[in-house]
Amino acid sequence: MTSLTYALERLGIGSQPNAVWIGGSGAVGSGDELRSRSPIDGSVLATFASATSADVPAVLTASIEAFRTWRTVPGPQRGEFVRRVGNRFREFKDDLASVISWEAGKITQEALGEVQEVIDICDFAVGLSRQLHGLTITSERPQHRLSEQWHPLGPVGVITAFNFPMAVWAWNAALAWVCGDPVVWKPSEKTPLCAIACQAIVAGVLKEMPNVPPGVSTLIVGGRDVGESLSVAPELPLISATGSTAMGRAVAESVATRLGRSLLELGGNNGMIVAPSADLDLTIRAIVFSAVGTCGQRCTTLRRLIVHESLADDVVKRLRSIYDRLPIGNPLEQGTLIGPLIDEQASSAMHLALIRAKVEGGRVHGGERLQEGVPSGGVYVRPALVEIPTGDGIVQQETFAPILYVLRYKTFEEAIAIHNDVPQGLASSIMTSDMREAERFCAAAGSDCGIVNVNVGPSGAEIGGAFGGEKATGGGRESGSDSWKAYMRRATNTINYSTELPLAQGIRFDI
């Protein structure tokens, strides 16, 4: 892992970066001073003037202009641009991971994993650039052809969260670009350097490919007002937003008012059922990675463990002994598995949730703030395990911190009912060796989530599948499978190659 200063230098980023970017040209934001602080030790990583809604029109104009050319460039050539972006991410993988660790607090392994996720989605999108296919459908009329074409949609607004400060942008950007759409990115104010680093990578490719309009990649680092301006902008036919359910609802309302399209990937409250036949060694490892990895700050983090009553005591005992000796501390040090929470606000949300859990009859193990053996100036906590009698109260909420609620069940039907009884529907899993249970969990009356796993925890999805969930998670699908369709518009074509004009539905209309 390289040091931050060295990484930023290699990426060509100074200590007072610009907040507004159109390709490789930066401009000073028109807003207040924004400081990027490291959750590792609270140090200031960069200071700059943030963007405001006043900076949005310039970015929109550039992306509209870029769209006019980009949409006519053949898909595989757009893929070539993305291939080069992916290759640059390969080349600067360590530097980019270092920026993620410093700014988002991820341990080195997970930061490298995030950059790998960017590389993977670029590879996926390059292949896709030759496979943007539509159907040919048999026509009911003689000598007619009915078929579909997929066309570029327009500039896409991408709003992302701090916890995956590069990968979620890449899921959107790589697909949008091969689909012929420019990207307007508003990252989290908590991770501006990660976004500027990605923009620098793209700028490097733009230099090599002067025919690609710079407006295909724009970045605007600002607060809520910038997000609001993008949501209401008719220039952006699609807004893809990742973050809290409250944020997503606000975005969806604005976008719906102008009949735009939104792609939402919001809160999760992910559960795991541990059935009597589960392989316990594997189960314990899956639980720990998904519950405490990224310090509980993934939208796929395991938050609810639904354990069969015959195993519950044993599972809790084993987890407690692991939780007691988890290596928590500086995420840059080898051997650390749990880094810091993003900020004080996250720590108070965790604290309040644990107080409420106790009031609701929960037995809380861990969850305390750590001062010893961790860098000062950061917020370090021991992940909490909460044995709780009911899933009705605090368990219904997503607290973006490492809290794992443990609920017990008697029958499989009860386990499914408890599992689905939350507002969110992102990721889920079952640990079982009973194939009937596994299949029932995956079937129509089983898990109601967008991600349904067997003998794997709910977090750590591969990019090849569609990512997202139902209910309060927002219903959007990003990343793999056919998620690309959200970034394009479909045209249905009817072509008549006969000399007659037969009408559909057998209608006669003789003149």
Catalytic residue, chosen from 114, 117, 265, 437, is 265
Question: Judged by CB, which is closer to ligand UN1: 89, or 164?
Answer: 164
Question: Judged by CB, which is closer to ligand UN1: 53, or 300?
Answer: 300
Question: Which residue of 460, 474, 475, 476 would you call a contact of ligand UN1, by CB under 6 A?
Answer: 460
| Interaction between residue 298 and ligand UN1 (CB under 6 A) | yes
Identify which of 88, 76, 448, 455 has the alpha carbon closest to the alpha carbon of residue 273.
Answer: 455
Name 469's Cβ contacts closer than 8 Å, sequence gap at least 6. 265, 268, 424, 425, 426, 427, 449, 450, 451, 475
Q: In what order do the strands lie in the sheet with 488-496?
A: 136-137, 144-152, 488-496
Residues in binding contact with ligand UN1, number by CB under 6 A: 11
- What angle, rounded to 10 degrees, do the helices at 192-208 and 75-91 form? 120
The answer to whether the beta carbons of residues 52 and 222 sit under 8 Å apart is yes
The contact mask relative to ligand UN1 for 186-225 (x = CB under 6 A, - = no) is: ----------------------------------------
Distances (CA, A) of 2 to 6, 11, 257, 332: 7, 12, 46, 10
Question: Which residue of 107, 153, 158, 168 would you call a contact of ligand UN1, by CB under 6 A?
Answer: 168
Q: How far apart are CA 323 and CA 365, in angstroms?
A: 9
Catalytic residue, chosen from 198, 295, 299, 449, is 299
Question: Which residue of 172, 242, 283, 399 would you call a contact of ligand UN1, by CB under 6 A?
Answer: 242
Stretch that binds ligand UN1, among 145-153, 345-353, 405-413, 459-467 (CB under 6 A): 459-467
Amino acid at 287: I
Identify which of 150, 135, 148, 146 has the alpha carbon closest to the alpha carbon of residue 504.
Answer: 146
- Output the smallest distance, CB 73 to ligand UN1, in A: 30
Q: Which of residues 108-127 bind ligand UN1 (CB under 6 A)?
A: 117
Question: Which residue of 81, 164, 323, 400 would you call a contact of ligand UN1, by CB under 6 A?
Answer: 164
Stretch that binds ligand UN1, among 137-145, 161-169, 250-258, 494-502 (CB under 6 A): 161-169
The pair of three-digit structure tokens given for residue 328, joined into one six-digit string = 């928590």
Stretch that binds ligand UN1, among 26-34, 124-132, 215-223, 458-466 (CB under 6 A): 458-466
- Whether 179 is a known active-site residue: answer no
The answer to whether the beta carbons of residues 240 and 168 sit under 8 Å apart is no
Pairing, β 427-431 against β 451-454: parallel
Residue ranges in 146-272 assigned as alpha helix (H): 167-178, 192-208, 224-232, 245-257
Question: Judged by CB, which is closer to ligand UN1: 298, or 365?
Answer: 298
| Interaction between residue 299 and ligand UN1 (CB under 6 A) | yes
Name 320's Cβ contacts closer than 8 Å, sequence gap at least 6. 365, 385
Question: Judged by CB, which is closer to ligand UN1: 52, or 269?
Answer: 269
| Interaction between residue 8 and ligand UN1 (CB under 6 A) | no
- Whether 299 is a known active-site residue: answer yes
| Interaction between residue 104 and ligand UN1 (CB under 6 A) | no
Stretch that binds ligand UN1, among 25-33, 77-85, 163-171, 275-283 (CB under 6 A): 163-171
73-83 burial code (b ≥16 CB/10 A, e <16) = bebeebbbbbb
Question: Which residue of 34, 59, 104, 461 would you call a contact of ligand UN1, by CB under 6 A?
Answer: 461
Q: How far apart are CA 372 and CA 38, in angstroms?
A: 19
- Residues making contact with ligand UN1 (CB under 6 A): 117, 163-164, 168, 242, 298-300, 459-461
For the annotated catalytic residues, the residue numbers are 265, 299
